[in-house]
Amino acid sequence: MILSVIGALVAGGAAGFWGYKLTLTEKAKKFKEKMARASEIEEEILEDAREKAEKIVARAEEKEQKILGRADEKAQEIQEK
């Protein structure tokens, strides 16, 4: 009788540990999936930021060229007078 109780406790403990380990493994897999998705989102955000920065720089360069062109025109007008 005592041996069967001990056997049942060992079997129950082993089953409980296996279930606990399985749960941890599943949680670890889900966490890895979430972190992978978070990395993908982070990369998307960084790519969007790079694209916006490139557009801003391009617009600034265009404005610079326009301003320099106007300055040259004004300088020529002043020299002609």
Residue with tokens 């069967």: 4
Task: Look at the pTM and tell me if it is higher than 0.75.
Answer: no
| CA–CA distances in Å: residue 70 to residues 23, 34, 63, 77 | 70, 54, 11, 11
Q: Is the pLDDT of residue 80 over 80?
A: no
pLDDT digits 0-9 by tens, 15-50: 777 777 778 888 888 899 999 999 999 999 999 999
What pLDDT, on a 0 to 100 scale, did the predictor assign at position 47?
A: 96
